Amino acid sequence: MKLRRLLLAGMAAPGAFVLLARPRYLRWGATEQEIHEPLLGDDLLAHPDLASTRAITIRAPVEQVWPWVAQLGQGRGGFYSYDFLENIVGCQIHSAKRIVPEWQAVAVGDEVRLHPGVPLRVAAVEPGRALVLRGGVPMGETPPPYDFTWTFALDERPDGTTRLLVRERYAYTRWWGPLVVELVETVSFMMTQKMLRGIRDRAEGRTD
């Protein structure tokens, strides 16, 4: 009985942490208005099972921020996050510290890879304003148990700063989809806040 209680306590602790931390990591940096604000690509998954919106203020105009967003992707500018963690699973990510002209063209239908074997597709783009990627990460030979959109939206403010919003939306396609996505979102929070800071620092000229 004592062992059973210890096992149950060990299982309950991570669950309690997720429940307590979840509201924070699903909306890190975003205002209430930004969370509910419609963004390009929302209509692709009109009724998601899970959504997050994260944001950061960048002290630079949109034209200095967009090029870093435009060149996102494996084999391109990377994701400006924890490269060493991504590379543990073979992503081969090398986050750029400069804007590369050859990576600036992005159009609907283009691939933006998370990993050499995991492409997302550009589902919508408004140059200088928003980029929407769509797809998912398969589990071996099993297709992803969810449909997914990943939106990057830029909003320039009157004071010349830019708000960069990153929104993830998931629609489950398998009963076990939530088990995968909840774990993914915990990792995504860690990687996304680093990515937002990475884009901010680059756009503001702090790339050392």
Summarize pLDDT for 42-101 with one digit per residue, the tens.
999 999 999 999 999 999 999 999 999 999 999 999 999 999 989 898 899 999 999 999
Percent of the chain topping pLDDT 70: 88
Global pTM reads: 0.89
Read off the pLDDT of each residue in 107-136 and give the average, rounded to a whole number: 96
Q: Which of 78, 74, 67 is nearest to 102 (CA)?
A: 67
Q: What is the pLDDT of residue 89?
A: 81
Q: What is the pLDDT of residue 66?
A: 98
Q: What is the pLDDT of residue 149?
A: 98
Assigned token pair, 6: 């210890």
Q: What is the pLDDT of residue 186?
A: 87
CATH number of 2-203: 3.30.530.20
pLDDT band, very low/low/confident/very high, at 150 (cuts 50, 70, 90): very high
Q: Residue 112 pLDDT > 60, yes or no?
A: yes
Q: What is the pLDDT of residue 21?
A: 65
pLDDT band, very low/low/confident/very high, at 19 (cuts 50, 70, 90): low
Q: Are 99 and 161 in contact (CB under 8 A)?
A: no
Average of per-residue pLDDT values in the chain: 89
Q: What is the pLDDT of residue 184?
A: 86
Q: What is the pLDDT of residue 139?
A: 79
